[in-house]
């Protein structure tokens, strides 16, 4: 548990007094990394959906037509994979499952009805965020693996047609799940006010941290004096 503190914002003092108090949540690097991932995921969803259902083929016009979708989509996938890998390395430790996550999840009704006062104190990420993180991690591995199998331009010779059939089915199912997880992720950010500024400006208000991630805030407040070691993972 105590190891998680090293992975915080990396500054010696990330809590700034004022009215309201502001708390640094994401470094510039983490934010750029996140938005490259987000942008490529949106482009992948649009181009992928254009080939998924005939009714959505019109989306291919956004990329300059079907031939270009076919050519570009896998390359955006490569960008997403490495970009997400960066996010994974930054955040995986903070997303390890903790005892309070089970409690948080069990009180799903309170979560959804915004009774955050009835929920246990939570570290930097709650169980919902952790589930988004891990399901995206798994789905992106599945997507890149199955995607390479059906990337006929370069890899056609390495697999059989039967394996490609499975790959294309797996790829589309994984993509549907990833898009659904993405919808959940975006919705949660919209619903919980004050969240988006964390990823846009890098900081949240003290009240936001108090309400949703109190354990994280307490650790930040308690930490600075003891924190001389410069952390390597500047997240």
Partner 1 sequence: MFPPVPNPSTGPQNPKFGENDLMRRSASSVTPPAERQTEVAKLIDVSKCIGCKACQSACIEWNDTHPEIEENTGVFENPHDLTPDMFTLMRFTEWENPETNNLEWLIRKDGCMHCEDPGCLKACPAPGAIVQYSNGIVDFVHENCIGCGYCIKGCPFNIPRISQVDHTAYKCTLCSDRIAVGQGPACAKACPTQAIVYGTKEEMKKHAEGRITDLKSRGFANAGLYDPPGVGGTHVMYVLHHADKPEIYAGLPNDPRISPIVEAWKGVTKYAGLAVMGVAAVTGFLHYMVNGPNRVTEEDEEAAERLTGDRSS
Which residues form the catalytic set?
185
Pick from 36, 192, 199, 234 the residue near partner 1 by CB under 8 A. 192
Cα separation, 217 vs 15, whole angstroms: 8
Residues near 127 by beta carbon (within 8 Å), at least 6 away in sequence: 97, 101, 102, 104, 105
Site for partner 1 in 142-161 (CB under 8 A): 150, 152-153, 156, 161
Is the CB of 4 or the CB of 146 nearer to partner 1?
A: 146
Only one residue has tokens 């797996």, namely 170
Look at the chain and count its residues.
Answer: 235
Residues near 107 by beta carbon (within 8 Å), at least 6 away in sequence: 118, 119
Asked if 66 touches partner 1 (CB under 8 A), the answer is: yes
Greatest alpha-carbon span in the chain: 63
Is the CB of 23 or the CB of 80 nearer to partner 1?
A: 23
Q: Which of 145, 10, 134 is nearest to 74 (CA)?
A: 145
Pick from 135, 205, 215, 233 the residue near partner 1 by CB under 8 A. 205
Smallest gap from Cβ 86 to partner 1, in A, equals 26
Residues near 222 by beta carbon (within 8 Å), at least 6 away in sequence: none
Asked if 200 touches partner 1 (CB under 8 A), the answer is: no
Tokens linked to 178:
């990833």
Cα separation, 27 vs 198, whole angstroms: 10
Pick from 36, 72, 105, 168 the residue near partner 1 by CB under 8 A. 168
Q: Count residues contacting partner 1 (CB under 8 A)?
A: 60
Residues forming the site for partner 1 (CB under 8 A): 15, 17, 19-21, 23, 50-54, 57, 60, 65-67, 69-71, 112-114, 116, 150, 152-153, 156, 161-162, 164-166, 168-169, 172-173, 176-177, 179-180, 183-184, 187, 190-194, 205-211, 217-218, 221-222, 224
């Amino acid at each position: 548990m105590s190891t998680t503190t090293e992975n915080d914002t990396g500054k010696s003092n990330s809590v700034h007094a004022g009215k309201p108090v502001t708390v640094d949540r994401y470094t510039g690097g983490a934010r750029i990394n996140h938005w490259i991932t987000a942008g490529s995921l949106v482009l992948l969803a649009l181009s992928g959906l254009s080939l998924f259902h005939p009714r959505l083929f019109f989306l291919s016009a956004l990329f300059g037509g079907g031939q270009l979708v076919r050519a570009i989509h896998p390359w955006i996938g490569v960008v997403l994979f490495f970009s997400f890998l960066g996010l994974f390395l930054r955040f995986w430790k903070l997303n390890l499952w903790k005892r309070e996550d089970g409690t948080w999840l069990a009180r799903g009704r309170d979560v959804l009805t915004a009774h955050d006062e009835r929920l246990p104190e939570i570290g930097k990420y709650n169980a919902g965020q952790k589930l988004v993180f891990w399901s995206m991690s798994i789905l992106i591995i599945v997507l890149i693996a199955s995607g390479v199998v059906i990337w006929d331009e370069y890899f056609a010779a390495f697999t059989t047609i039967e394996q490609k059939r499975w790959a294309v089915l797996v790829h589309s199912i994984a993509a549907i799940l990833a898009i659904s997880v993405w919808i959940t992720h975006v919705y949660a950010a919209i619903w919980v006010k004050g969240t988006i500024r964390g990823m846009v400006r890098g900081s949240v208000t003290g009240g936001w941290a108090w309400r949703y991630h109190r354990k994280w805030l307490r650790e930040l407040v308690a930490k600075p004096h003891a924190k001389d070691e410069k952390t390597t993972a500047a997240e």
